[in-house]
Structure 1
Amino acid sequence: MPSPDPLLWERDREQAVLSAVIGELRSARPAMVTVTGEPGLGQNDLLCWAAGHARNAGLHVLTARASPAEHELRYGVVAQLLAEEGPTTVSRLFLTQDRPGGLPGLNALLAAARDRPTLLVVHDVQWLDQASLRWLEALARRLPQVPLVLLTSSTGTAIDRPEWNVGTPLTGLASTIELALPPLTASGTAAAVLAVCGTPGDPAFTEAVAGATRGIPAVVHDVLDRFTRTGRRPDAEHVDHLRALTAEVVGDHAARALSELRDPAAVDVLRALAVCGDLLDFPLVCMLAGPHSVPEARLRAALGASGLTANRDGSPRVPDAVVRARILEEMPAGDRADLYARAARLAQRVAAADQGIAELLLAARPVGAPWAVDTLRRGFTAALRNGRRDRATAYLARALDEPLDAENRVRVELQLASVQMVIAPAAAERRLHGLIRSSGDCAGLRSHAVDLCLLGGDTRAARLAGTGDPGPDGGRGQRAVPGAVRAAGTGENAGPPDTRPGAELPCPTSRAPGDPAPGAAQGSGTSQAPGPRDGVPAEGAAATPGAPVADPAPAAEPGDASGTDPAVAERHELTALARVARFLRHEDSELDVLPVPDLPEHSCSPAVAGVRAWEQAVAGVHLDASRRLARAAFAPDPTGRPPLVVPRLFACRALFLSDDGDEAEGYLGALLTEAHRQRAAISVAHVLSVRADLHIRHGRPDAAARDLAAAEAELPPARLHPLFVPYWTSLNLVTELQNGRLDRAREAAARPVPPLAEECATTSYLLFARGLLARVEQDPHRAREYFRASGRWLLRYGCVNPAVLPWRSLAAEAAHALGDGEDSLRLAREEVHHARRWGAPGALGRAELSLAVVSGENRTEYLRAAVATLGESPARTAYTRAVLALASAEREDAAHQSAVARTSSNTALPAGDIDPGVLMDIPGQDRHAHHGAPPARGGPPPPGTPSRTEAAEPAPRHGLSAVESETAALAAQGLGNREIAAALSVTTRTVELRLSGVYRKLRIRGRDELRALTQGSEGS
């Protein structure tokens, strides 16, 4: 149990020493004892305890206390000691001249002590006046001659350190003891919590008490006393309240100590220390405080005696932020700001650390010097590097208070908004809207402000920019309908698409190296106008209801039509961003001030190229032109304008829709490096999310999970704009499915989304991902509803291309599982039709594979075509699935033709065949897909045109033996090699050899792709 006196907790050792000294004093043995420590450690309380203990032992006790108020009063402490001798002796003290040998009352005190052992107790000797100090030193020299003990206490470093504290031969044969009081230990703090609160504290609570109070008994007692009066229990739930109370108590103690500091020079130096003590050396701090006549050593002693500073590396420091605030709060605001400004100038002259100077500038008035802005921007970079985004934004906001030219001011505001998009998106939007509305010098950066707004989810900013001229119709044109989407219409009123080769690439910078010059013929599959065929409805026209029959050619730009003029180039960029905003958010309830114009027909702007590439990709037309435009989005701007982020992200998405995923991954890596270099967290997060989408499409769920985790570290989900919530949720959901974590996938699917998230284009991704989950859970009815709902959203936004999301093929397989053969065939043929029009092997191969699944007749031919097509694409999961399905179909065909195969079902399969019940029976797929209904009349013939199958090599037979199939099935279920070996009664080496053969025959790289194959997440 601790002592009843809170300030004597864990002072048993010191009390034992003092008891021994008092016991020896009764035997006429003199001693000199000094108790030291920080304020609040209980020095004076320990002296009071010793005085009471000596009185109880019958000793004569004289006490005195030095104070800052009496520091200049001669013999102030001696007068307190000799008060019992009578007023005559005390009055003589103040009348005695300061001459050698003038020590009034000392001889009388020594004579009395010889007759009666005496204990002299002097508190706070750091505040001794000079006369009392000399008097006590003279007493100390005479201690060996009398039975007297001098017991003193001090806090910090005394202004004039008494000689007896250093253990010199001054005291002769008298014992000299110095007791340094330590803070409370962890066990002592726990005992204090029990004593004050009446109940043991949680370990977390006790640890918080020790850390916040630094184990100082006075602070511990006051904090726990206030905490107990609130009625709370000492547990971990109330740690935050405890820290708030600790700040109040520490501030009160600091204010009390500050009120006792009377020296004006020491006060000025203390304020300068509170401002920049951690940045500048103590001589520089004294210089900052102003001219004074007090020696540096005396200032150090005065600050140490106040208890407000602590020595660190030989210099005084104010260690606590609460104490620094209390020291500065009494200064007038103008004086305080001026002190910070002078400190910043001094720190800049001595080349102090940039971030330290930036901290000083935060509280300083504007200094009006160029170095201030440069220092704040460097501090901004350092703060972001350390993960302190709130501090980084404070630095840039302070830089805006300095005088800046218009261009630099806009650049600083853009840089500030890029960070605020993550921590304070509403403030960032207001700042960017102000930039967009303004004119003059900042007009050249409006497109970058709109680009940043789109990354943050703000689609209104594009309308504020006032994109383009109304055109020859005076602004009465149609609403924003992508020209590429209108050209992709297949209804009877839809005109043919613009098949002019290179029409979108009139200038050299918009054409990738090696591409044909304008006027060259395009390849097959990109210049054929799609029309009604095999009963396929015209979904391109349905995507834009009410669209005109044809898109009128836009009027030529006045002046420089190619966009090399800076004003025209910016107008082109703003037009491209307005098209992106229109695509991301479909707001039928809002009337735009001006219709969103079409993209300029002739432009060298990389932003226009990237957005046009995406529009053609989602419309499913002009594969080669879309690919060239996507590459041109990464070409340097001919006007030297810095590139935008959003158009390049859409260009990357267009590239992996055209099966150029490796190229898109390289561009995304460059974008990520650029975003990291610019410290743009919002850009980093979006680039990582798009790359995660690419990893998912290529069957790399582990890499996708890493990118998603990194994206959420840059942009926490709580800060994510509702516009992007469905997309990010879908990526997490599909990643968990591919990694085999079904429970986490269900949690992601059940996670609520904001209402605004259900009104944007990304809703289709979440619906599609929920359909995949229902497919894995073998719920075809729910899966078909989700896939159809996803398709309706895609068509609403003009997304016809099955490479975006293959919702038709998966809805067809779900309908086939439900026995709706007619609907499944219709959807599968539509998918094949749109995929063939787009021309990418990955989309076409997946569509052909789904058509084979729902078809009854000619299934083997369909599968062979799918294998041949997917062999040219990076969709390895879909390719492996097609290979397995083809092997199963060929085995069934052979079984029908061979009586031996029908009678030998219990024997081992020959090499090159595959057991259909091992790998084909996987969750999320139709187990009876090969028993489907025959194709309907008028359906597309088996794929075998010369442009596809005749030019390609015949697909090899990638069959597995029975033992390989069995081993692969166990590995796909997540069993390790040892578990598989134990189940099959073989060695681990045999399992490794069998799996190596499986990977080689199926053309996959390991268990991840094998697991992804079994979960049927291809095309997602």
Structure 2
Amino acid sequence: MTGLNGEQYGGIVWAGSRRTDLPLLEREAEQAQLKDVVASLGEGRPAVVSVTGRPGFGHNALLRWTARLAEERSVRVLRASGSLTERDLRHGAVLQLLSPLGEVAERPLRVLREHHEPDGLPGLLELLHTVRRTPTLVTVEDAQWLDPASLHWLQALVRRLSTGLPLALLIGRTGVDPHGPDWLADTAPSAQLTRHLTVHGLSPRAVATLAEMIFGVACDETFAAAAVQAAYGNPAVLHAALHCLADAGHRPTADVVPQLRTVITGIIGDRAGRALRGLTDESTAVLRALAVAGDLLDFTLICNLAGLRSVRETRLRSALETAGFTVPDGAYERIRLPVVRARILEDTPAAERGRLYAGAARLAYRAGAADEDIAGLLLHAPPIGESWAVHALQGGFDAAVRRSDDITRSLPHAPSGGEPWGVHALRGSFGTAVRRSEFARAAACLNRALDEPQHPVRRAQISLDLASAEAASAPVASDRRLAAVVNSPGEGEPWSHVRLQALDMGLARGDDSWGRRVATQALASAQGSERDDLIALYWYAAQSRPEATDISTNGVPALPEHPLAPAQAGIRAAQLTARGQHREQAAQLARRALEAGPAAPVMPRLEAARALWLTDAAGEAEEHLDAIVAELGRRHRRPALARALALSAGLHLRGGRLDAAEHAADAAERVLPAAAWHPLAAPHLLAIRSIIAVETHQHDVARALTGAPIPPGAESSVHWPLLLHARARVAADEGRWAEAVELFKEGGRWLLRRQWVNPAVLPWRSLAARVLITLGDREQARRLIDEELTLARRWGAPSAVGLAHLCAGSLDAPGPAAGSGGSTGIARWPNQLAYAWGLADLATEEATKGDHTIAARLLTELSGHRVTRTSSRLAERARWLATRLEQTATPNEFTSSKEWAALTPAERQTAELAGRGLGNREIAEQLSVSRRTVELRLSSTYKKLGITSREELLARSRPTERT
């Protein structure tokens, strides 16, 4: 047997169909000492030399090189080689050594062949007698496999060495012991006679030399370093791999490194397969057990798993280590290379492999191994049929996800609920996999848990966790699984709770049509509180229909005007808020839903939190929302958590906390990747990200997000108006005023079709009015602002009324709510971003009209808002206003300013058209140039005028237009 990685280095190596002599590299020091040993034989000085190294590193090759050197110098060479397959053949090595002696050893050879246990040391004296006349070199390759009788014979030979006896014993042995074979320690008569050489792996420099010899061209340093790393410096493996690449026409360059690693892995695997066939049954059984659980169980337990309860562990460990399969690690034994472990598992019959995994899981469970480790074993084992296996697959879920979870790191931890330890390994592994976004592995853990016998309610709960993981990787399968749970038979509170959670989770992913259908089916047999919650979830799903009246109720009762059930209260609060009616009642119903906590479904509570925020109870609403996010983080309901984080991002954005909004949006997408969101839910996060990009001056990002293709059906989403709003913001930011107005109005028409008239939900009228003022259509702007004022007063929230008044100031003198400078209530309004922009637009309008006093007062208030520091666009507007107000020139002097005169005729023409509100496309069409030309001209204009945006250009252009 040659060991795991082969041992033909330095001798004859098969590479493809060619036999190749491989030169020794980086063995100069060892060769020098071996030359000295051969030379000493001529002076009658004996020696004992051990050469050790890992399999394939070339220790036997040095023996053969020394033998050839000795023969060249007329030194007799006797050769022997150990073999695992002949380890039980007594005196096997002695027979090899004595055979070349001819007649001198004829009698001892006959004794060895005829007697199983001959007396004395046959042939030893005859050999020593011939040595006195003939200097002799004895080489023993693979001495680790010597039979005990041959080992005893060699020990006797070493003890008889003395000065004047020209015999050198050269022993090659697999291993990394720098002192050579253990039996030499007490055998050599003198330390001066003994030398120990250890060969090491090749360095990148040696590999480069070898590669240049094989390829015929210089070797890239990166290639050489990668080769050493992949092959662990093993010369035999490297030689074979380099020949394979050369035969395939490659060159030793960095771009071939992936192919190099693949070839080396295959070579090591093939050699492992051949080496496995030479192992004893005991060694094979232990290796298979190590491949399954060597990282979890100590060697004693591994032997137990392999079925070897009475075995010499030290002998087995030594055999596996010397063969190159394993490395010691205290009480453990590790398989040295991943590819070797894979090959061992492939070589193990499927039934045997399953038995080993099941047995390892039992032993690991009893040894108190980590949940994820036990789960990894159970994933490959057949059903255990014991309660601890189900618990192991489910347990540790919360603890595993909490560890270093970027999504829920700051969330409060839930108590364990007093579950037994066993409720902590495949589900714990599920949690860890989800934390790493390894959704396929998370699903595999719970799929495996479903194979175990268990209580139906427990099975349904596992299905919920599995659907949560599948929502990210296989959303359609997730919806089917949830529908099966909702329609599963069963009575009592546990079943009711599980069914409601399943429907709630499916709605969280966003498929409202699925939700209405499944809720209607479940209502047919529901009773009591379960029926109340199903009705609430049905009407939550129904809110996305194209028209307010286009809903087939399928016999589902309408929500009561004053519902007592928390879930119904949350949905009713959202309805009142959208319609802008009964603000106090909406707040009361929202609080009823939120105070129910986890007893109520999640989606109605999220609706309630949003409704409460819009009543101006923002702080209270955000506290409840934070609690919901923390709860969902502990329960690992991915779709619902993603929706809660998206809502949180939207509220942070409206409050002007842009960093917090971006953090929440990122977390939502980590929880549930964008591709897994249903088309009816996807526009929400897309719109929020777009507006954040607008506010932070990421124009290209905002344009890409709003212009990205949307999945079919997204136009029916309740979040569609928000996406239209984001597109309008981008259009306005780029000076496409007419397009911006149409987008704002289109979003408004969507809301009106559903009778969602409350301006607190989305103040589209005032936003469209601002753009209409820019375009000069003050009459239409007046109608929209008056309508918003009326609706805001009907809703009654101070923030909505104040924002409408502020926007009205663009047409009239600013009222007390706009720029009072000392209003403490304004600072507590939730919609700080919209209010700050209202101030900025109004201040710009006043500065343009020449009323610097009012403009300065508005600018002072604007500068005092935190959002002016978080929004780079607002900060830029504030700086521009401050600079403009500091100028002493009158507006009419602008037309004769040096900056305006510095513009080229083409730039001036382009700037005038932009100042009239035309977008880049319209300007390009009117001037018969490309849009890129328009962009370049405007960029040059901004630089010459010392401005940064189209709004500032518009403000500067107005005086010119009036002259």
Scaled to the shorter chain, the TM-score interval is 0.7 to 0.9
Q: Which residue of 1 aligns with 2:726?
A: 769
Which of 598, 623, 626 aligns to 1:669? It is 626
Displacement of 1:846: 2.3
Corresponding letter in the other structure for 1:72: D
- 2:448 is equivalent to residue 403 of structure 1: no
Q: Deviations over 1:393-438 (max 9, x none)?
A: 3322222111111111101111122122223323322322322333
**Shift in CA distance, 872/99, structure 1 to aligned 2, threshold 3 Å:** closer
RMSD (Å), alpha carbons: 4.3
Q: Which residue of 2 aligns with 1:562?
A: none
Q: Which residue of 2 aligns with 1:630?
A: 590
- What pairs with 1:41-52 in structure 2 (closer than 5 Å)? 41-52=57-68
SS at match of 2:162: helix
Q: Deviations over 1:531-583 (max 9, x none)?
A: xxxxxxxxxxxxxxxxxxxxxxxxxxx9xxxxxxx833222222222333333
Which of 71, 75, 82 aligns to 2:91? It is 75
Equivalent-residue separation in structure 2 for 1:343 and 1:296 (angstroms): 18
Displacement of 1:890: 8.1
Q: Deviations over 1:146-183 (max 9, x none)?
A: 2222222222489x9944544x4624265322222333
Is the Cα–Cα contact under 8 Å of residues 802 and 817 in structure 2 kept in the other structure?
no
Structure 2: unaligned runs, 5 residues or longer: 1-8, 11-19, 395-423, 888-947, 954-963
Which of 832, 842, 848 aligns to 1:876? It is 832
- 2:842 is equivalent to residue 852 of structure 1: no
Displacement of 1:186: 4.6
Q: How many residues of Structure 1 are paired with residues of Structure 2 in the alignment?
A: 828
Is the Cα–Cα contact under 8 Å of residues 261 and 306 in structure 1 kept in the other structure?
no
Displacement of 1:118: 2.0
**Shift in CA distance, 464/107, structure 1 to aligned 2, threshold 3 Å:** farther
Is the Cα–Cα contact under 8 Å of residues 33 and 179 in structure 1 kept in the other structure?
yes
Is the Cα–Cα contact under 8 Å of residues 819 and 857 in structure 2 kept in the other structure?
no
SS at match of 1:278: coil
Q: Which residue of 2 aligns with 1:415?
A: 465
Equivalent-residue separation in structure 2 for 1:910 and 1:414 (angstroms): 58
Which of 381, 389, 392 aligns to 2:428? It is 381
Which of 304, 307, 314 aligns to 2:321? It is 304
Corresponding letter in the other structure for 1:34: S
Is the Cα–Cα contact under 8 Å of residues 436 and 461 in structure 1 kept in the other structure?
no
Which of 637, 641, 656 aligns to 1:684? It is 641
Displacement of 1:818: 1.6
**Shift in CA distance, 91/393, structure 1 to aligned 2, threshold 3 Å:** farther
**Shift in CA distance, 204/848, structure 1 to aligned 2, threshold 3 Å:** farther
Which of 717, 722, 726 aligns to 1:760? It is 717
SS at match of 1:598: coil
**Shift in CA distance, 243/646, structure 1 to aligned 2, threshold 3 Å:** farther
- 2:380 is equivalent to residue 363 of structure 1: yes
Q: Deviations over 1:934-970 (max 9, x none)?
A: xxxxxxxxxxxxxxxxxxxxxxxx9999799669xxx
Q: Which residue of 1 aligns with 2:233?
A: 215
Q: Deviations over 1:826-872 (max 9, x none)?
A: 2222222222222222223222222322x2x5555784699978466
- 2:269 is equivalent to residue 251 of structure 1: yes
Q: Which residue of 1 aligns with 2:568?
A: 608
Corresponding letter in the other structure for 1:874: P
Q: Which residue of 2 aligns with 1:620?
A: 580
Displacement of 1:664: 2.0
Which of 761, 767, 778 aligns to 1:810? It is 767
Which of 295, 310, 334 aligns to 2:351? It is 334
Displacement of 1:199: 6.1
Equivalent-residue separation in structure 2 for 1:916 and 1:460 (angstroms): 47
Is the Cα–Cα contact under 8 Å of residues 516 and 542 in structure 2 kept in the other structure?
no
Displacement of 1:758: 4.5
Is the Cα–Cα contact under 8 Å of residues 164 and 176 in structure 1 kept in the other structure?
no
Q: Deviations over 1:480-504 (max 9, x none)?
A: xxxxxxxxxxxxxxxxxxxxxxxxx
Is the Cα–Cα contact under 8 Å of residues 770 and 781 in structure 2 kept in the other structure?
yes
Q: Deviations over 1:697-751 (max 9, x none)?
A: 0111122122222333333334444433322222122112222333333343344
Is the Cα–Cα contact under 8 Å of residues 32 and 177 in structure 1 kept in the other structure?
yes
Displacement of 1:696: 0.8
Is the Cα–Cα contact under 8 Å of residues 720 and 747 in structure 2 kept in the other structure?
yes
Q: Which residue of 1 aligns with 2:303?
A: 286
- 2:501 is equivalent to residue 448 of structure 1: yes
Which of 49, 60, 67 aligns to 1:33? It is 49
SS at match of 2:809: helix
Corresponding letter in the other structure for 1:46: L
Corresponding letter in the other structure for 1:405: H
Corresponding letter in the other structure for 1:632: R
Equivalent-residue separation in structure 2 for 1:243 and 1:800 (angstroms): 64
Which of 422, 429, 444 aligns to 2:479? It is 429
SS at match of 2:587: helix
Q: Which residue of 1 aligns with 2:902?
A: none
Q: Deviations over 1:231-258 (max 9, x none)?
A: 5666666665555444433321211111
- 2:112 is equivalent to residue 93 of structure 1: yes
Is the Cα–Cα contact under 8 Å of residues 509 and 640 in structure 2 kept in the other structure?
no
- 2:130 is equivalent to residue 112 of structure 1: yes
Equivalent-residue separation in structure 1 for 2:886 and 2:73 (angstroms): 94
Equivalent-residue separation in structure 1 for 2:844 and 2:339 (angstroms): 75
Is the Cα–Cα contact under 8 Å of residues 48 and 168 in structure 2 kept in the other structure?
yes
Q: Which residue of 1 aligns with 2:29?
A: 13
Q: Which residue of 2 aligns with 1:127?
A: 145
- What pairs with 1:483-522 in structure 2 (closer than 5 Å)? none
Equivalent-residue separation in structure 2 for 1:959 and 1:188 (angstroms): 65
Corresponding letter in the other structure for 1:636: A
Q: Deviations over 1:739-788 (max 9, x none)?
A: 23333333433444334544533332222112112222222122113222
Displacement of 1:670: 0.8
Displacement of 1:188: 4.5
Corresponding letter in the other structure for 1:783: A
**Shift in CA distance, 222/578, structure 1 to aligned 2, threshold 3 Å:** farther
Equivalent-residue separation in structure 2 for 1:222 and 1:838 (angstroms): 81
Corresponding letter in the other structure for 1:671: I
**Shift in CA distance, 356/873, structure 1 to aligned 2, threshold 3 Å:** closer
- What pairs with 1:581-600 in structure 2 (closer than 5 Å)? 581-584=541-544, 594=554, 597-600=557-560
TM-score scaled by structure 1? 0.73
Deviates more, 1:425-434 or 1:124-133: 425-434
Is the Cα–Cα contact under 8 Å of residues 821 and 861 in structure 2 kept in the other structure?
no
Displacement of 1:819: 2.0
SS at match of 1:154: strand
Displacement of 1:882: 5.2
SS at match of 1:82: helix
SS at match of 1:115: coil
Which of 473, 480, 489 aligns to 1:439? It is 489
Corresponding letter in the other structure for 2:388: W
Which of 265, 268, 274 aligns to 2:291? It is 274
Q: Deviations over 1:679-703 (max 9, x none)?
A: 3343333322221111110111122
TM-score scaled by structure 2? 0.77
- 2:518 is equivalent to residue 465 of structure 1: yes
Equivalent-residue separation in structure 2 for 1:756 and 1:179 (angstroms): 75
Equivalent-residue separation in structure 2 for 1:677 and 1:163 (angstroms): 57
Identity over aligned residues, as a percent? 40
Corresponding letter in the other structure for 1:350: A
- 2:741 is equivalent to residue 725 of structure 1: no
SS at match of 2:122: coil
Equivalent-residue separation in structure 1 for 2:862 and 2:611 (angstroms): 38
Corresponding letter in the other structure for 1:677: R
Q: Which residue of 2 aligns with 1:833?
A: 790
Equivalent-residue separation in structure 1 for 2:479 and 2:886 (angstroms): 58
Is the Cα–Cα contact under 8 Å of residues 912 and 961 in structure 1 kept in the other structure?
no
Corresponding letter in the other structure for 1:667: H
Q: Which residue of 2 aligns with 1:580?
A: 540
SS at match of 1:86: helix
Equivalent-residue separation in structure 2 for 1:1015 and 1:733 (angstroms): 22
Deviates more, 1:201-210 or 1:18-27: 201-210
Is the Cα–Cα contact under 8 Å of residues 125 and 153 in structure 1 kept in the other structure?
yes
Q: Which has the higher helix share?
A: 2
